[in-house]
């Protein structure tokens, strides 16, 4: 068994390992080329988060999905670059919206420069992704456009919150499916399409991407509360500080009263955003020991298990085994 890539994918097949390593190297080179500008400052800003690392989960999924067709097809690596550029662009915008100070263990672009530079850099990355996408044909452009609409809609739904009569947890899962699941679903779809895979395989890998994308985000939500900044690469409790109710918080608010600590936690969670450091630390400590954390972890397991089950119709091969292994990797991140 060999571990490949920043995400820690376990690969048991030497040929697949070689393909994935070569593909990821080609993606990195493509990202370097796509983020280069004639203006040195733009290059520096565009490469800021890319150089900080990241798991490259989306390109990895593109490469694995391509194994169900021709993994060396000319559109595979460019489509992987497109999804990663799109993801990076959303991070610049997210950090402005969240007023985040740290991303991937380094100062966020808005903290290092300012909000305007961060927003415009995100726009620059979107433009570069669009340029590459145009070379992949109108069908690829349409797939990406539909996913981007879902992504933005998910962000809007998160911003406005659930409507009256809507279950807050169901609403949140819809948000996650749009904000995160949509682009990861496209990763599976692009890899299969570009490799010329059968239509049923394309649909299966798209559905798999949607489920594992949701599990991936739920694991991030769990880590945002449970881990320290060294483990997660960002400031713990960022969503909590900004008043964004992720799944652990929603489970607290939906649970029965367990006593004084519970009531105090609810008071903190339903009050103003926790910008005060002492109140933020108090809420974080209470939340970490609440049963809602275990419930959120079980939800992550459920979506990862659903993703694994979706793989069943695919032909048995090392890539299928690796995709199942990604489900385990996602769950491992959430404890």
CA dist., res. 271 & res. 255, Å (int): 17
Q: Which two tokens stand for residue 293?
A: 């954390």
Tell me the C-alpha distance between 68 and 62, whole Å.
11
Instruction: Measure CA of the first residue to CA of the last residue in the chain; give whole Å.
Output: 22
Helix (H) or strand (E) holding 254: helix 247-254
Paired strand residues for 103: 106
Q: Which residue(s) pair with 3 in the sheet?
A: 10
Q: Tell me how long the chain is.
A: 335
Tens of each residue's pLDDT in the chain, 335 residues: 454 554 556 667 788 988 999 999 999 999 999 999 889 888 888 887 777 767 789 999 999 999 999 999 999 999 999 999 999 888 877 766 666 666 656 766 676 677 777 788 888 999 999 999 999 999 999 999 999 999 999 989 988 888 888 899 999 999 999 989 999 999 999 999 999 999 999 999 999 999 999 999 999 889 889 877 545 555 678 788 877 889 999 999 998 888 888 999 999 998 888 888 899 999 999 999 999 999 999 999 999 999 999 999 999 999 999 999 999 888 776 55
**Range(s) of the domain holding residue 244:** 2-333
Task: Report how many domains make up the chain.
Answer: 1
Exposure of 269 in the CB half-sphere (CA atoms within 13 A): 25
Q: Closest by alpha carbon to 240, among 186, 277, 212?
A: 277
How many degrees, rounded to 5, is the angle at CA 245 between CA 241 and CA 247?
125
The model's pTM: 0.88
Q: What is the CATH number of the domain that holds 242?
A: 1.10.600.10
In degrees, rounded to 5, the angle at the alpha carbon of residue 37 between the alpha carbons of residues 35 and 41 is 95
């Amino acid at each position: 068994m060999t571990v490949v890539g920043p995400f820690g994918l376990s690969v048991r097949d030497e040929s697949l390992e070689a393909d994935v390593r070569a593909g990821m190297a080609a993606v990195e080179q493509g990202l370097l080329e796509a983020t280069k500008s004639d203006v040195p400052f733009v290059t520096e800003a565009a490469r800021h988060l890319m150089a900080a690392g990241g798991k490259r989960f989306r390109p990895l999924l593109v490469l694995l999905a391509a194994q169900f067709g021709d993994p060396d097809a000319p559109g595979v690596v460019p489509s992987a670059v497109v999804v990663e550029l799109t993801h990076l662009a959303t991070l610049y915008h997210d950090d402005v919206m969240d007023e985040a100070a740290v991303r991937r263990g380094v100062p966020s672009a808005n903290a290092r420069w300012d909000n305007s530079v961060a927003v415009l850099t995100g726009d620059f990355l979107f433009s570069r992704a669009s340029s590459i996408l145009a070379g992949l044909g109108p069908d690829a452009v349409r797939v990406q456009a539909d996913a981007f609409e879902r992504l933005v809609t998910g962000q809007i739904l998160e911003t406005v919150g659930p409507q009256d009569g809507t279950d807050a947890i169901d609403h949140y899962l819809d948000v996650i499916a749009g904000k995160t699941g949509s682009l990861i679903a496209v990763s599976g779809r692009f890899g299969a399409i570009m490799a010329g895979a059968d239509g049923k395989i394309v649909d299966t890998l798209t559905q798999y991407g949607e489920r594992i994308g949701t599990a991936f985000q739920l694991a991030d939500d769990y880590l945002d509360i449970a881990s320290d900044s060294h483990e997660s690469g960002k400031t713990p409790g960022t969503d909590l500080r900004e008043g964004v109710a992720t799944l652990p918080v929603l489970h607290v608010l939906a649970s029965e009263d367990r006593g004084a600590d519970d009531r105090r936690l609810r008071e903190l969670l339903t009050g103003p955003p926790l910008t005060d450091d002492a109140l933020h630390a108090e809420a974080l400590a209470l939340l970490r020991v609440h049963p809602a954390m275990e419930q959120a972890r079980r939800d992550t397991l459920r979506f990862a298990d659903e993703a694994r089950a979706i793989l069943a119709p695919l032909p048995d091969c090392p890539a299928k085994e690796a995709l199942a292994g990604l489900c385990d990797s996602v769950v491992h991140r959430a404890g």
